[in-house]
Every structure is written in C-alpha cells, then in structure tokens.
Amino acid sequence: MSRMESLLNRMHLHSICESALCPNIGQCFERSTATFLILGEICTRRCTFCAVKKGVPLPVDECEPDQLLAAVVHLRLKHVVITSVTRDDLGDGGAAHFARVADQLLKNTEATVEVLIPDFQGSQESLRKVAAAGPHVIDHNLETVPRLYPDVRPQADYHRSLELLGRVKEFDPLIVTKSGLMLGLGEREDEVLATMSDLRKRNCDLLTLGQYLQPTPSHHGIVRFIHPQEFERYETAGKEMGFAAVASAPLVRSSFNAGELYRRVKQWPQ
C-alpha cells in the first residue's frame, strides 16, 4: 500500500479510498488502482454515513487535472474513476473542474473515464458541463431509500438525485449511467426494490449494492447486517428489471471493480 500512498502524496492527489475509509483499500492499492478524489478533501455537507472531512473547503487546485493525468499515465490505468467532495460553496458545484479533468484524460490517454458526481444542487447547467466532456460513465449514488434521507443525507434530496441521473442521457444518450446503494441503514427490502425500480425508470444502466459499515462511533449506526443471500436476491431482481449489470455483495462499493462492471455493458443486449 505504501507505493500507492507515496504516489498520491508526491503528486498532491487525494483518494476517496483513504478519505472514506474504504474496506477495499488494501486490495485496490495493492493492484495500483484508486478512485481519485478531486476538489479537495473537505466536504460542505454533513451526511451521517460518510467519513470524509467536513467543513470549509480550500480553494480549487487548478493544477489538479495535470497532476491526475500524470498519475494515470504512470499507473497505466485502463479505467479511471474520479469523484469529489460536495462543493456547495462553488457556483457550479465544481462541474467545470470535473469537465477539465475528464477532458484532460480523454484527450491524452486511452483509458475509459468514469465520474462519480455530487448532485450539483440539481443544476442542469452543471450536469451539462460534465456530460459535454464525454466521460464514458456518469455515476451518482442515491446511497439509501427516500425515507431515510432526512437522517442519512439531510442536505440532499432523493428526487433531485434521481432526476439528475435521468437527465444524463438527455445530454448524451451514449453515456452509461450508474448508481449505488448502501444497505443496513434501516431500509426495508420493499423500499430497496422500489428504489431500484425508480432508477430503471430513469434508464440507469449499472447498479451497485453493498453493506454499510459505520466508520466511527459518531456516524450513523448499523441497523442490520445484510445476509449474502439477500444481496443475491437484489442482484437477480436488478437483472430482471433490466440493469445492464448489478454488483451486489457486502463489500461492494460504487467504484470497486468499476472497469469490469463497465465492460459488461458492452455485452448487454440493447
């Protein structure tokens, strides 16, 4: 793991793997992969499930697109996942910066590019900026069922996030859309299935479901550990609903094996 950490430090880059205390960090870093975290490492929101630092962010690092390109070239990555903290302090939520990063990678590498975006407070113009850069995948995680949003994502809005995903293909129908849910926060099985159905109605292509793990005692507690067979049922149900691919297991995270999940779209009967 030290080799990957050294590279990120040397190039002044952050990873969500470290910031969010991801349980898969050892496996990913060992394989010289990471999900890059742009726009700093301090989030303007206070979601109760997330370990990312919260507070007043630093100014945007304009050198970040070049630094990230250098890291991707050095690591010879074939699929790059880029996410960010939520930057409600920026006029466009950081959309232009997302677009610059994606554009830099698409023009200078042969890697497929996946962006895991915040909700941009529902701004269609911000979403348009990101879509115009032409990433292969636009991912936005609903995270949980609508009933739990006030407790889990108090500054977010379920329907706003849902509509954001649905609008992606209005800008570019070739972009693959993706979302993810954490389970074990207190949701019921019927609520999970209803949320999955909501995503398919918005033409969401890819879905990930994983077990929520409480990062610290001060974060939202684990209400239930989901049995592996329940995860299997969700995967089967998702395929029946028409998702191109579903990754559903306790340690699945939205960016874990993201390249493999994206490649499965190519074999999907359209």
Q: Cβ of 31: how many Cβ atoms within 10 Å?
A: 10
Which residues are 113's β-sheet partners? 80
SS3 179: strand
pLDDT of residue 2: 52
Q: Domains in the chain and their CATH numbers?
A: 2-265 (3.20.20.70)
pLDDT digits (tens, 9 = 90+) for 67-109: 999 989 988 889 999 999 999 999 999 999 999 999 999 999 9
| Stronger pLDDT, 248 or 12, i.e. the higher one | 248
Cβ-based neighbours of 266, under 8 Å, separated by 6 or more = none
Phi, then psi, of 144 in degrees rounded to 5: -155, 180
What six digits make up the tokens of 85? 């903290």
Cβ-based neighbours of 231, under 8 Å, separated by 6 or more = 183, 209, 248, 249, 250, 252
Mean pLDDT of the chain: 89
pLDDT of residue 182: 96
Phi, then psi, of 228 in degrees rounded to 5: -50, -35
Query: Biggest alpha carbon distance in the chain?
Result: 47
Overall average pLDDT of the 204-232 stretch: 95
Residues of the chain with pLDDT > 90, as a percent, come to 73
pTM: 0.91
pLDDT digits (tens, 9 = 90+) for 241-260: 999 999 999 999 888 788 98
Helices (H) and strands (E) in the chain, counts: 11, 10
Using an 8 Å Cβ cutoff, are 15 and 8 in contact? yes
CA 161 – CA 85 distance, rounded (Å) = 15
pLDDT of residue 1: 46
SS3 237: helix
